Amino acid sequence: MTAASANNPVDFADLLAFYASAGVDDALEDAPVNRFAEAAPKPVERLPTTTPHASSAPEPPATPPRLDGRAVPDAPAPRPPTSAVPDEAQAALARQLATAAASLDELRQHMAAFEGCNLKATAKNLVFADGNPQAAVMLVGEAPGRDEDIEGLPFVGRSGRLLDRMLAAIGLDRGSVYIANVIPWRPPGNRTPTPHETEICRPFIERQIELVNPKVLVNLGGPSAKTLLNSSEGILRLRGNWRVHTTASGIAIPAMPTLHPAYLLRTPAHKKLAWRDFLEVKAKLRTLL
């Protein structure tokens, strides 16, 4: 340790915070691995030496030797190409499984067994839903974050606590709403889901909405609104205006696009806009209940 490092010891809390902000928040293995330790050298297999007959030419060895006398290992056999991106067959399977689910429990079982989305391979848990499936209000976000992935429930981190306060402001709580996400598995590093991943998961959330059959749908954030309302507009244009989500069975559900709680944590000046949207939801419920 140098004098400079001795006078400035590493603050491991700051280092861990930096890793978390960069998306490095999951260990790949249970035990640490010393990547700097050199592997033990493998024994060198030398070619056998034979004395050829005078009348016959020596046969070339199967593996030509190098100049230093060591054998050159055979090149590994090429592996078949693999792809982590789901294909149309898997999207069709997702639609088939979603349609076959006659209840939320069946839908959850189908989603837990589904292997067609590459996000499942890196997620810890399926984040299905939280709240009351008989509720009049259903809220749909985009995808789980780190805390949601650990607990298996949507909106349990900082954004979830803000959402709880927003609901309380209009007289609601988690026992009187139903909460889900378009994507039920956390994207690694909290990256944005790809359009293909979204399309793979779309049949599941659409069937989930159909089975809950809420009186009002609240789309939390632009990705949820664009996916479920078939719109290409940005959330600042969509929010505050009633739209309609139509289920596969033809039921029209009033939908209110609004700002995602995570966005509001980064842009607190826009909380007043979300407050107006939630007041609209409260007023709509009065006319429907």
Interval 53-91: pLDDT, tens: 544 455 555 555 454 555 544 544 444 333 444 478 888
Residue pair 230/199 in contact by the 8 Å Cβ criterion: no
Q: Could you state, in order of their start, the residue ranges of all structural domains in the chain?
A: 88-288
Q: Name the residue with higher pLDDT: 214 or 49.
A: 214
Residue pair 146/153 in contact by the 8 Å Cβ criterion: no
* Strands of the sheet with 243-246, listed across from one edge: 130-131, 177-181, 137-141, 216-220, 252-258, 243-246
What stretches of the chain adopt beta strand conformation (E)? 130-131, 137-141, 177-181, 216-220, 243-246, 252-258
Residue 10 has what pLDDT?
63
Residue 22 has what pLDDT?
64
Helix locations, 173-229, DSSP H = 195-212, 222-229
Confidence of residue 41 (pLDDT cuts 50, 70, 90): low
The residue behind tokens 């809220």 is 139
Interval 135-164: pLDDT, tens: 999 999 999 999 999 999 999 989 999 999
Residue 28 has what pLDDT?
61
Residue 277 has what pLDDT?
98
Residue 135 has what pLDDT?
97
CATH topology of domain 88-288: Uracil-DNA Glycosylase, subunit E (3.40.470)
Give the predicted TM-score (pTM) of the model.
0.71
Q: Name the residue with higher pLDDT: 56 or 115.
A: 115
For 191, phi then psi, to 5°, come to -70, 165
Average confidence (pLDDT) over 81-103: 79
Q: Which residues contact 82 (CB under 8 A, 6 or more apart)?
A: none
Residue 8 has what pLDDT?
59
Residue 13 has what pLDDT?
73
Q: Name the residue with higher pLDDT: 167 or 47.
A: 167
User: How many angstroms from the chain centroid is the CA of residue 191?
Assistant: 8
DSSP annotation of 268: G
Average confidence (pLDDT) over 43-53: 53
